[in-house]
Amino acid sequence: METHGGILRAQLARKTGCNLETIRYYEKVGLLPEPPRSSNGYRVYPPELVQRLQFVLRARELGFFLEEIKALLGLDAVQPNACNDAHAIAKANLAAVRSKLSDLRKMEAILASAVADCESRDFGGCPILYALSGSSLNAQRTKQ
């Protein structure tokens, strides 16, 4: 049901794949403007809000923080400094993503080693539990 050229929250959710609670949250934190209400009290969103919400969702997928997304939403693509400002925000985000990747690679190595040790079954104890407790598996092997 479209309402005077607008759409209801459930329709906005369906069109973007975003859940209702997330839409409410984005309104609360200011990423989406609070929509006007219809005479029966329903929130009625302008159709162009679909594109804005898709922008927000894509930015979140790429790891941008809410404050960064607010800053990006505030930029006007035709303004001379907009690209420089967007570049600075994206560059900082890229550095954060690279740092997370580095951490994930370290986590992968530790988990792969613990799983491989567990599958080899040539020692006593549980290498996964040792890894989670921060214990050295080599120290555990020398005790046996």
Question: What does the pLDDT average to over 26-47?
Answer: 92
Question: What does the pLDDT average to over 18-29?
Answer: 96
Report the topology of domain 1-62. Multidrug-efflux Transporter Regulator; Chain: A; Domain 2 (1.10.1660)
Q: What is the pLDDT of residue 26?
A: 97
Q: For the chain, which residues make up each domain, given as ranges?
A: 1-62
Question: What does the pLDDT average to over 37-58?
Answer: 93
Give pLDDT tens digits for 112-128. Answer: 988 888 888 776 788 88
**Cα dist. 116→109, 119, 121, 130, 134 in Å?**
10, 5, 9, 13, 17
